[in-house]
């Protein structure tokens, strides 16, 4: 009896074990067919309008800025302005003194006076000889010609010395440094008594730095891909990082019409700053309007394969991969505008790489 119990138990466990390990065999072969699921992530090409603007960083710069140097060597006699001083055009900023220039001016005036006296004497001598020549044989023709030549030469010397005096007076005026335009002194590097001269080296510090701040330039660099898409008829909107929530609007004032070394084109927007709440150096977020109202062929950014030879996407047709060469346009919201043999609804491989070969079975 005990033996029968163990036999029945062994038969029971054997039956249970077989029911868990063995499965029905699929004789149709459908499990081995490809195409039910793909090991690649598949996306589709869409056609819709891209964003009508692009966000780019910008920076404020003074509308005009000049480093002021002395035009002649001299000592600083007085400085009339300091950092933060508001100045007007032609206002005196500082005065220099140079005794040698004063001496040169006096010497030039003396030479001019002497030349005038010589010219008067020559003119009077020629007049007398000319009157005497009215009597035949009183004056030799050669003497009269020499007197005429001497008079003309002395008059030429007078003109030369007069120009020299004017030149020295101009140099003397360089001792008074004036403002070339309205603005604010933002930097002062000199004091009375300092010896200064013309800035001849790149690292020479200017005496003063003057900026025009009533109007500023907002400088923005447009990437090459967007240069031809900028809508010049629509205003630009921008906000400054230091003043969030305060949105401004203005038209593009000018552009460089050339690409820089960074493959971008500089544009400028004039910003009025009468209250001077804005400062040069402030950063802004600028919305540049684009000419992209028409529908565009868009693909996800991660579907584009970029190599040194070409840019392409991998389309899926009849379960196999096909390379489609493209040219990229605008980008926004994780999508890129492309130009090529693609249409809306085409299937493409996402997260594609150049390791995928053309003709690979995808699904």
pLDDT digits (tens, 9 = 90+) for 277-311: 899 999 999 999 887 656 788 999 899 999 888 89
Residue 190's contacts (CB-CB under 8 Å, 6 or more residues apart) are 76, 79, 94, 196, 207, 208
Q: CB–CB of 316/42 below 8 Å? A: yes
Q: CB–CB of 228/292 below 8 Å? A: no
Structural domains of the chain, count: 2
In a domain, 161, yes or no: no
Residue that finishes a domain, picked among 289, 304, 319: 289
Report DSSP state, residue 344.
T
Question: Across the chain, what does the average pLDDT equal?
Answer: 84
pLDDT given at position 39: 79
Give me the domain span that covers residue 324.
42-50+294-349
pLDDT given at position 266: 93
Residue 251 sits in the same domain as residue 274: yes
Residues of the chain falling short of pLDDT 70: 1-38, 51, 199-203, 292-294
In a domain, 163, yes or no: no
């Amino acid at each position: 009896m005990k033996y029968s119990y163990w036999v029945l138990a062994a038969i029971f466990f054997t039956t249970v074990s077989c029911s868990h390990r063995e499965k029905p065999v699929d004789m149709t072969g459908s499990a081995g067919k490809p195409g039910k699921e793909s090991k690649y992530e598949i996306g589709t090409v869409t056609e819709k309008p891209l964003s009508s603007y692009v966000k780019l960083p910008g920076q404020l710069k003074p509308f005009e800025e000049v480093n002021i140097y002395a035009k002649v060597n001299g000592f600083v006699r007085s400085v009339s302005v300091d950092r933060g001083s508001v100045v007007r055009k032609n206002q005196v900023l500082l005065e220099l003194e140079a005794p040698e220039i004063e001496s040169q001016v006096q010497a030039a005036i003396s030479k001019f006076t002497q030349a005038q006296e010589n010219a008067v004497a020559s003119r009077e001598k020629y007049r007398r000889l000319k009157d005497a020549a009215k009597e035949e044989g009183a004056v030799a023709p050669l003497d009269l010609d020499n007197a005429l030549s001497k008079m003309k030469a002395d008059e030429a010397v007078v003109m030369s010395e007069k120009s020299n005096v004017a030149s020295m007076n101009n140099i003397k005026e360089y001792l008074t440094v004036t403002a070339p335009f309205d603005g604010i002194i933002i930097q002062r590097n000199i004091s009375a008594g300092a010896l200064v001269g013309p800035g001849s080296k790149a690292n020479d510090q200017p005496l003063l730095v003057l900026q025009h701040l009533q109007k500023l330039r907002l400088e923005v660099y447009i990437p090459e891909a967007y240069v031809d898409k900028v809508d010049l008829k629509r205003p630009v909107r921008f906000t400054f990082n230091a003043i969030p929530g305060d949105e401004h609007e203005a038209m593009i004032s000018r552009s460089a019409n050339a690409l820089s070394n960074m493959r971008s084109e500089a544009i400028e927007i004039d910003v009025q700053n009468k209250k001077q709440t804005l400062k040069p150096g402030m950063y802004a977020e600028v919305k540049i309007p684009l000419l992209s109202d028409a529908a565009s062929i868009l693909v996800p950014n991660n579907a584009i394969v970029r190599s040194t030879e070409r840019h392409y996407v991998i389309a899926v047709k009849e379960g196999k991969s096909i390379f489609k060469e493209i040219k990229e346009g605008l980008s926004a919201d994780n999508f890129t505008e492309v130009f090529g043999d693609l249409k809306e609804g085409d299937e493409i491989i996402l997260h594609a790489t150049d390791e995928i070969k053309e003709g690979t079975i995808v699904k």
